[in-house]
Structure 1
Amino acid sequence: MSAAVRALRRSPGALGGVASGTNSAIRELGGVFGVAVLAAVFTGPAVYGTPDAFVDAFKPALWVGAGLAAGGIVSALLAPPREVQPPEATTRRTALPADVGPTGA
């Protein structure tokens, strides 16, 4: 099950949009900061000078990325379990009056 599905399942029905937006924003920020950190580790003087210099600069960036991934896995495993609540009963939606369209006009 994906993280997005879990975020939406654990949020109250009225806050589904907020949960979805928060999940997307955090995912995007993680990607942006991940690329920035790995680029900062990779970048150095004359990194594009020779193929050997490129590989030598790339190795630490890979190790940092692997360490960050491992740290994320460990923190997810050590996080306290959340109490799962049964899903709320779905409420019946009332039909709109015949003279009111879906846009309220």
Structure 2
Amino acid sequence: MPEVQRLTRSETTAIPPCEPSTDLRVMNGVRTFDFNEAAAFLKVDRTTALSLAGPGQLPGAKIGRAWLFLKSDVVAYLEREIAAAAVTPSLDTRSSFS
């Protein structure tokens, strides 16, 4: 029987992680985000993203325990929010010119 070579702990940490040959989040030109990526893209906290995704304001699918978002849906949500903010007058009555 051939002898098995054992690696020390320092040798195993030096081995780079195995990278997939294709990014599984881009399939057929469709980019998807997981929950953390969607929150980071919108630059909001996870709890804010959950409060948007739960009631359906931010379109996504909960598959098992994980949320999945299409990048195009997240971008469309952001564009709607920007358009709504442009139409709604600011509640801030302070002048920016002092």
TM-score normalised according to structure 1 size: 0.29
Judging by fraction of residues, say which structure has more strand.
Answer: 2
